[in-house]
Structure 1
Amino acid sequence: MPDPATDPGGGRGLRVGSLFSGYGGLDLAVEEVFNGQTVWFSEFSPAPARVFAHHWPGVPNLGDITTIDWNEVEPVDVICGGFPCQDVSTVGKRAGLRPGTRSGLWARMAEAIDVLQPEWVVAENVRGLLSATATRPTPEGDDTDGRNPIPATPESATAIEGAAVRGVEPDPWDLGDESARPLRALGAGMSTSGLC
């Protein structure tokens, strides 16, 4: 029997869906690690899409991620993608994960994850994601300002058999354990997708 630590696919190649595919660098790594095969990709820009299609002939490009109905897409075992980093990068304007920003396209990746429920998600981005601000989309009828109204660390995650886990690792980015005000991009990403 295959070892899950060395063969996550359990002897069968995992089906991989690629978002923000570019020329396919992340996909090559994901296919190698997961013994996978890319079955669809989503790339908006024509030039990188042509490069991707050249190296993965016959694999359909779903195109613009903002127009995809994920209920109509073939389920996969792995979703990978490196959503735009310009708005979370420490060398950028730090607009964060807000609707209408390039990095705000993370919400589209989270939507794909939510609908397709893959076993694995491989997301790639810059270190600035840890400290950039975010605004969650506000559900219809909700009058909050989109910031996180609850503690950043759920009570159930703060203790293991009575031992506090908050002090286990130092926090080099000084994000803290209190409610994230403003909501940090990484917290919005994980909470949005249910991958906490």
Structure 2
Amino acid sequence: MPAKPRIGSLCSGYGGLDLGVQTVLGGSVVWHCQFDPQDPQQHAARILDHHWPHIPNHGDITAVHWENVEPVDVLTAGFPCQDVSTAGPRLGLAPGTRSGIWAHVAHAISVLTPRLVVIENVRGLLSAPAARSMGSDRRSVAPHPGAQPLRGLGAVLGDLATLGFDAEWTVYRAADVGAPHRRERVFIIAWPQA
């Protein structure tokens, strides 16, 4: 890893994951990708612009041509949790859902091939269904009849492996870092296979 890694951010939200990665690894955020069609005021994008005024925001992850985006050493992604959260509809990582944006994150990873990927999501990713999984030919893989359903975390880890990345994951509670509540989060780090 370079002494000052370049960081790209997908599904950036207000930039909290980016700030954490910057604190640990140093370096600088060189671009964001934040767009929320359900928020006409684009509140998160406005916060990013306030804190990183000269950093481009590539907007809608589904419309970006990653071949034209500045390469980065580290890629962060806090893809939408609404459909994997236990407080949400539990639709999982299905195409057409907000959490299904994961497929676009995986595509960005495949094109950008960063040296490190840092992903954050809610604990519900461990148990939410994944209606899709990326096969080696990039088509959906359907489990055989009677098989246990694929879970969100399994799909994410499987997709990363298909893309040539090794990964580790863990769950941290907000209380683990001093906050007065649990608010559990799944963190995944991935790097290219040797």
Alignment map for 1:100-179 (pairs within 5 Å): 100-136=96-132, 146-148=141-143
Is the strand fraction higher in 1 or 2?
2
Instruction: Quote the Cα distance in structure 2 between the aligned partners of 1:129 and 1:136.
Output: 14
Indicate the residue corresponding to 2:54 in structure 1: 58
Whole-Å separation in 1 of the counterparts to 2:50 and 2:20? 17
Alignment gaps of 5+ in structure 2: 37-41, 167-194
Query: How far apart in 1 are the matches of 2:121 and 2:134?
Result: 24
Q: Which amino acid aligns with 1:147?
A: A
Local SS of the residue matching 1:182: coil
Q: Match of 2:45, SS?
A: helix
In structure 2, C-alpha distance between the alignment counterparts of 1:73 and 1:106, rounded to whole Å: 19
TM-score of the pair, normalised by structure 2: 0.73
Q: Structure 1: state its 5+ residue gaps.
A: 1-8, 150-178
* Equivalent position of 2:172 in the other structure: none
C-alpha change, 1:121 and 1:148, in structure 2 (3 Å) is farther
Q: Output the TM-score relative to the length of structure 1.
A: 0.73
Instruction: Count matched residues.
Output: 156
Match status 1:41 vs 2:22: no
Distance 1:87 1:15 in 2: 30
* Cα deviation code 1:56-81 (max 9, x no counterpart): 12100000000001111111011101
Q: Return the alpha-carbon distance in structure 1 between the equivalents of residues 63 and 158 of structure 2.
A: 23
How many angstroms apart in 1 are the aligned matches of 2:81 and 2:27?
A: 26
Q: In the aligned structure 2, how far is the partner of 1:85 from the partner of 1:180?
A: 25
Q: Distance in 1 between matches of 2:51 and 2:120?
A: 21
- The alpha carbon displacement at 1:193 in A equals 2.6
Q: Which residue of 2 is the match for residue 22 of structure 1? A: 13
Matched, 1:77 2:73: yes
Q: Quick one: which amino acid aligns to residue 186 of structure 1?
A: L
Aligned Cα RMSD in Å?
A: 2.4
Match of 2:182 in 1: none
